[in-house]
Amino acid sequence: MSAKASVSDRGAVLLGNSVACDAFDEAMPLRVVTHAHADHLVGLRQSLRCGKRILMTAATRDLVGVVNGSLPLDEGAVELLDYGETVAYGDEQVKLVKADHILGAAQVLVEDAGGNRVAYTGDFRVDGTEPLTDCDVLVVEATYGSPSFSRAFKVDVRELLVSMVEKRLRHGTVYVFGYHGKLQEVMQILHRADVCVPFVMPERVFRVSKICEQHGMRLGCLALSTEKEGKDLIDENLPCVAFYHMNARKSVGLLGSSRICVSGWEFHSPCRQIGEREHLVALSDHSDFNGLIEYVRRCKPKRVVTDNYRVSHGVTLAREITKRLGIPAVAMPR
Ligand SMILES: [Zn+2]
């Protein structure tokens, strides 16, 4: 292998001669799924149908099974890899390395017999993610790839979230809206802070939460919104936290309850009022712009490719990496 890495027009992050990450690619025999978010499961059904070897962590397999229940992920179709474990294909070794993003999330490192190293970060937060050093080419996510996506505030967002929830619980049910993985992180934060009211949720959020518990997260006392105990708590506006997917924001908890949306898309203040009794709290599972630059600085790769498929900030991030760190960088696909 010469040190090859790119991002295809269909969003596959191609590493070396054999690996396609996070989207289908006809030519590559191995498919890696870095984590269970939908924009990283592109063409997974096709990868299964075409008999690709499919690699992911056990936690990611379990989460994908809930988020996209119709995929046939059993029957030996999927190979489960722990962090640090390698799979060989030809003269290449493929390794998954932990990424701090959602449960099960991984970075991908491919190294050949000649010592060429190429890698892909997947989605990540810089602080809890081990830098992949000495790479010839590093493919980096670019979600917050523009300098305007820098969080200037120094407040501990987790502490702020706990105090907001505690205060609002005095008036009854508090609704929390977010994406899969993030909701469970909020449960974990509240549980650690001894917020011990019941956590009520619909079935899919409940099943994702149960998988997080099976993989070691401690989330608290979980109840289904469809069963009597949970339903009564919500209907009578009693103190509990109701967790719903962001998609339910326009249809749930609209009758005078306190509402909190957790989202990374906020950069000026850790908390902002967005409705009559609704606030947005800036809890992110991605690095902001400064975190992306810091991660690349720590890795010191020879070249960088930014993922310009999943967001449109890849071009800006590539330009800033070259300008600030002196490392050649391009955005792909163009
Ligand atoms: Zn993600």
Amino acid 75: pLDDT: 63
Q: Rounded to the nearest whole angstrom, what is the distance from the C-alpha of residue 274 to the centroid of ligand 1?
A: 24
Give the Cα separation of 119 and 111 in Å (integer). 9
Largest CA distance in the chain: 66
Amino acid 255: pLDDT: 86
57 phi/psi in degrees, rounded to 5: -75, 160
Using alpha carbons, select from 96, 58, 53, 94 the residue that is nearest to residue 76. 53
E strand segments, 4-91? 5-7, 13-15, 19-21, 30-32, 53-56, 78-80, 86-89
In terms of phi and psi (left: phi > 0; alpha: psi -120 to 50; beta: otherwise), the region of 256 is: left
Amino acid 315: pLDDT: 97
Q: Rounded to the nearest whole angstrom, what is the distance from the C-alpha of residue 334 to the centroid of ligand 1?
A: 21
E strand segments, 113-164? 117-120, 137-140
Whether this prediction's pTM lies above 0.85 is answered by yes
Q: What's the token pair of residue 10?
A: 């269909």
Q: Rounded to the nearest whole angstrom, what is the distance from the C-alpha of residue 112 to the centroid of ligand 1?
A: 28
Using DSSP bridges, classify how beta strands 222-224 and 199-201 pair: parallel, antiparallel or unpaired: parallel
Q: Rounded to the nearest whole angstrom, what is the distance from the C-alpha of residue 151 to the centroid of ligand 1?
A: 19
Amino acid 73: pLDDT: 85
What SS3 state is found at 209? helix
What SS3 state is found at 136? coil
Q: Rounded to the nearest whole angstrom, what is the distance from the C-alpha of residue 101 to the centroid of ligand 1?
A: 7
Contact in structure between 313 and 143 (CB atoms under 8 Å): yes
Q: Rounded to the nearest whole angstrom, what is the distance from the C-alpha of residue 113 to the centroid of ligand 1?
A: 31
Q: Rounded to the nearest whole angstrom, what is the distance from the C-alpha of residue 207 to the centroid of ligand 1?
A: 18
Q: Rounded to the nearest whole angstrom, what is the distance from the C-alpha of residue 313 to the centroid of ligand 1?
A: 16
Torsion 73-99-162-196 (CA) sign: positive
Q: Which amino acid, residue 120?
A: Y
Q: Rounded to the nearest whole angstrom, what is the distance from the C-alpha of residue 111 to the centroid of ligand 1?
A: 24
Q: Rounded to the nearest whole angstrom, what is the distance from the C-alpha of residue 259 to the centroid of ligand 1?
A: 23
Using alpha carbons, select from 125, 117, 145 the residue that is nearest to residue 301. 117
In tens digits, the chain (334 residues) has pLDDT values of: 568 999 999 999 999 999 999 999 999 999 999 999 999 999 999 999 998 999 999 999 999 999 887 888 876 779 999 999 999 999 999 999 999 999 999 999 999 999 999 999 999 999 999 999 999 999 999 999 999 999 988 889 999 999 999 999 999 999 999 999 999 999 999 999 999 999 999 999 999 999 999 999 999 999 999 999 999 999 999 999 999 999 999 999 888 899 999 999 889 899 999 999 999 999 999 999 999 999 999 999 999 999 999 988 999 999 999 999 999 999 999 8
Amino acid 198: pLDDT: 98
Please tell me the number of Cα atoms within 13 Å of 171 on its side-chain side.
12
Amino acid 69: pLDDT: 79
Amino acid 74: pLDDT: 74
Contact in structure between 233 and 240 (CB atoms under 8 Å): yes
